[in-house]
C-alpha cells in the first residue's frame, strides 16, 4: 500500500510538475527512508499518530548525523508527499503540518587576512597601463566593498575626486555614496592620468575600467585579474571579487565600524545580511569581555 502511494506521488511529480529524473530519484530515496522507518515500527504511513512517528523519524535522522541541509530536503519531501495524499482524499489530515523544517545555517563568507590583501595589492606592475588599471581595480574593491557588477558599471561621472567618494548603482537601481579612501583614490588618479588612454578607443566612452578593446571589462575578465594577482601573491584559496567585499566588511567591523555603517556602505537592504560578517570567535569575544567588562577579570588584591 505504502509503495503504491509513493509511486502515485512520483508519477504526479513527473507528469504534473515535470520534475527531472534526478529530482524524482532524490524524492524516492528520501520517502523510502521514511516508509522503511514506519514499517519497522509497524505503523502505516497513513495511520493514526503518524505525526508523532514523523517526529521520531526526524530525530533518528539527526542522530545518524545527517546535515541540516539533508534533513531539510527530507522534510520538504515528506510535506510534499502528504499534501498530495490530502489533496487526493487519501488522508483527511496533514501529519506534517507541525513538522518544522530544519534551519540551514548561512555559511560564513571566506575572508582574507589584512596581510593577504596587502600582498595582493602589491603585485601589479605600475610601470604599464595594465598594472595601473589592475591596481586601481584591486584598491577600489577592497576600499569600498562594492559588488563586481557595481565595479564594472562605474563610469567617469561616478567619481567625485574632491570629496573622494563613488556614486554606486546597486541592486534594484538603488544609488548610494561610498567613500574611497586615500590609497584607492591615489590608484584611481594614476590610472586615469597614465593608463586609461591606452585602453580607450572612443573618446565618448565613459566607462571607468576598460579592456584592451576599449570596452567595459567583463565579469570573467575581472575574475581573471583577481586570480592572477592572488596566485602571484601565493594565496592558496580561490580569490574572487566577493572575497574582497567580505574582507572589506570584516576588516571594517574589526576596526570598530558600526554594523549600520557597514550595511549602508555595502548597500544591504536588511541588516541581517550584514550580520554574517560579525563572526567573532569565542576567543575574540572572551578577550573583548575581559578587557571591556568591569567584572571581566579578577582583580588582584595585593
pLDDT at 124 over 60: yes
The 10s digit of each residue's pLDDT in 84-107 is: 999 999 988 888 887 776 666 556
Task: Tell me how far CA of residue 137 lies from CA of 20, 84, 144, in angstroms.
Answer: 42, 53, 11
Distance from C-alpha of 77 to C-alpha of 167, rounded to nearest angstrom: 46
Q: Which residues of 224-262 are buried (b: 16+ CB within 10 A; e: fewer)?
A: ebbeebbeebebeeebbbebbbbbbbbbbbeeeeebeeb
* Residue from 2, 66, 91, 68 nearest 38 by CA: 2
pLDDT at 283 over 60: no
Strand partners, 159: 166
pLDDT at 239 over 50: yes
Rg of the chain (C-alpha set): 28
- Res 28: pLDDT: 93
59: confidence class by pLDDT, cuts 50, 70, 90: confident
Question: Quick one: what percent of the chain has pLDDT higher than 70?
Answer: 85
What is the three-class DSSP state of 198? helix
Domains along the sequence of the chain with CATH: 2-87 (1.10.150.130), 114-281 (1.10.443.10)
Assigned C-alpha cell, 193: 592620468
pLDDT at 9 over 80: yes
Instruction: Provide the mean pLDDT of the chain.
Output: 84
What is the three-class DSSP state of 279? coil
pLDDT at 277 over 80: no
288: confidence class by pLDDT, cuts 50, 70, 90: low
- State the residue for C-alpha cell 518544522: 100
286: confidence class by pLDDT, cuts 50, 70, 90: low
**Catalytic site residues?**
147, 171, 242, 245, 268, 277
Predicted model pTM = 0.60
Amino acid at each position: 500500500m505504502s509503495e503504491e502511494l509513493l509511486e502515485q506521488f512520483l508519477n504526479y511529480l513527473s507528469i504534473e510538475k515535470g520534475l527531472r529524473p534526478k529530482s524524482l530519484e532524490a524524492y524516492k530515496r528520501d520517502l523510502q527512508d521514511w516508509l522503511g522507518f514506519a514499517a519497522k515500527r509497524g505503523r502505516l504511513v497513513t495511520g493514526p499518530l503518524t505525526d508523532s512517528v514523523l517526529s521520531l523519524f526526524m530525530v533518528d535522522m539527526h542522530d545518524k548525523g545527517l546535515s541540516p541541509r539533508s534533513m531539510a530536503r527530507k522534510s520538504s519531501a515528506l510535506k510534499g508527499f502528504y499534501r498530495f495524499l490530502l489533496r487526493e482524499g487519501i488522508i483527511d489530515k496533514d501529519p506534517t503540518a507541525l513538522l518544522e523544517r530544519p534551519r540551514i545555517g548561512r555559511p560564513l563568507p571566506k575572508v582574507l587576512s589584512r596581510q593577504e590583501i596587502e600582498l595582493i595589492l602589491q603585485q601589479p606592475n605600475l610601470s604599464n597601463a595594465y598594472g595601473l588599471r589592475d591596481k586601481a581595480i584591486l584598491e577600489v574593491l577592497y576600499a569600498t566593498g562594492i559588488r563586481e557588477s557595481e565595479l564594472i558599471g562605474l563610469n567617469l561621472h561616478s567619481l567625485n575626486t574632491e570629496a573622494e567618494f563613488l556614486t554606486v548603482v546597486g541592486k534594484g537601481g538603488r544609488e548610494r555614496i561610498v567613500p574611497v579612501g586615500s590609497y584607492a583614490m591615489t590608484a584611481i588618479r594614476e590610472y586615469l592620468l597614465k593608463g586609461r588612454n591606452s585602453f580607450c578607443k572612443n573618446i565618448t566612452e565613459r566607462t571607468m575600467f576598460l579592456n584592451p578593446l576599449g570596452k567595459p571589462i567583463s565579469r570573467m575578465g575581472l575574475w581573471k585579474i583577481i586570480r592572477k594577482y592572488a596566485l602571484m601573491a601565493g594565496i592558496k584559496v580561490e580569490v574572487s571579487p566577493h572575497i574582497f567585499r567580505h574582507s572589506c566588511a570584516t576588516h571594517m567591523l574589526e576596526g570598530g565600524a558600526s554594523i549600520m555603517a557597514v550595511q549602508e556602505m555595502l548597500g544591504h537592504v536588511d541588516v541581517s545580511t550584514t550580520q554574517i560578517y560579525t563572526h567573532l570567535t569565542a576567543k575574540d569575544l572572551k578577550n573583548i569581555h575581559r578587557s571591556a567588562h568591569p567584572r571581566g577579570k579578577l582583580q588582584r588584591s595585593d
